[in-house]
Amino acid sequence: MARLLTVDLELEQVRAIVRDLDNALDPVGFARLHGGVNDVYRIDLAGAEHPLVLKIYGDEPAWAVAKEALVAGWVGERAGLPIPRWLRVDESRTRISFRFALTTWLSGVTVRSLIGAPGIDVAYRQMGALLRRLHAIPMSAYGYIVADGIRRPQPTNDEYMRSAFDQVFRQFRAQCGEEALTRRLEGNAQSRFDLLQHSTGPVFCHDDLQQGNVLVEHSKEGNLQLTGLIDFGNARAGDALFDLAKALFCCTHEDPRSREPLLAGYGDVGHPDPEEALWLYTLFHKVSMWCHLTRRGDGPAGLLRDLDDMSR
């Protein structure tokens, strides 16, 4: 089982890290933020209105730190709400024995922490609109993003997704060992591959827009308002519906009521058969997620049942 990254930090180490950025800054305390597989800390500064964030990365993948900094620079203000700014990336392992980044702090709490609260539908609508703005960021090709850009860029969605499906089904076959189930899923996917030709072009895909990666707070009027988007570790260049399907899959897993307001906020998806296209991409995401969680040792039996249902 893959363990969560945990790092024992001392205040003097944190001070040294921050003063490499700006010797005038004076850290007076730090606290671990919960969620994710990496250690992330809020660093409080003497006399400063806003803290900093220290994000510590494991050894793999080697390109993770540089990728997030690269992607954040691409997105910039185009998300229409704050995202972290990467202030410093250090992969030297001199201050601590891990690679790390210092970023700006974003106010708010995760949408996840308010699931079931009054007015949560408003936040979900805003999440849908946020995803639509991200999909207005054009990319040069289809493919997964690493430290220096798109890895093995593909010119068409059809080529990219056929290759991606082939890879994920090979992983699933090896990990699951259920040949009949794998064949049924492959057949159901391949019968819909013509839908992949209707992409309007490669766009920026966050590939993990869910309640834990979106921040929110109450406005003075008492309404929920998104305050930030975090975590660009999964980002890729792809078809907009690929990303929408991932957001719907992840968000409805945590809160089934999120689907309709998310879709309402997103608006017209611009595909001749949106439901079938979303079904196809959701199949990809569920197979991929099952493989990922199984490698971690989480044993997602419920997800395997979902895949069995999708194979019928």
In the chain the domains, ranked by start, together with CATH numbers, are 11-104 (3.30.200.20), 109-310 (3.90.1200.10)
Q: Half-sphere exposure of 166 toward its Cβ, with a 13 Å CA cutoff?
A: 6
What does each C-alpha distance from 224 to 227, 257, 300 come to in angstroms? Answer: 9, 16, 33
Tally Cβ neighbours within 10 Å of residue 135: 23
Following CA atoms 235, 238, 240, 244 in sequence, which dihedral angle do they give, to the nearest 10 degrees? -50
Contact (Cβ atoms closer than 8 angstroms) between residue 86 and residue 66: no
- What's the CA gap between 275 and 164, in Å, rounded? 20
61 cis-preceded (ω within 30 degrees of 0): yes
Beta-carbon contacts of residue 66 (< 8 Å; ≥ 6 apart): 89, 91, 147, 148
Strands of the chain, DSSP E: 27-33, 39-45, 52-57, 86-90, 99-104, 109-110, 142-146, 149-154, 203-205, 214-218, 224-229, 236-238
Q: What is the pLDDT along the chain (312 residues), one digit of tens a residue?
A: 344 556 789 999 999 999 999 999 999 999 998 766 678 999 999 999 999 999 999 888 999 999 999 999 999 999 999 999 999 999 999 999 999 999 999 999 999 999 999 999 999 999 999 999 999 999 999 999 999 999 999 999 999 999 999 999 999 999 999 999 999 999 999 999 999 999 999 999 999 999 999 999 999 888 999 999 999 999 999 999 999 999 999 999 999 999 999 999 999 998 999 999 999 999 999 999 999 999 988 768 899 999 999 999
* R_g over Cα of the chain: 20
- What's the CA gap between 264 and 194, in Å, rounded? 26
pTM: 0.95
* CB contact burial 54-86 (16+ within 10 A = b; e otherwise): bbbbbeeeeebbbbbbbbbeebeeebebbbbeb
Q: Is 52 helix (H, G, I), strand (E, B) or coil?
A: strand
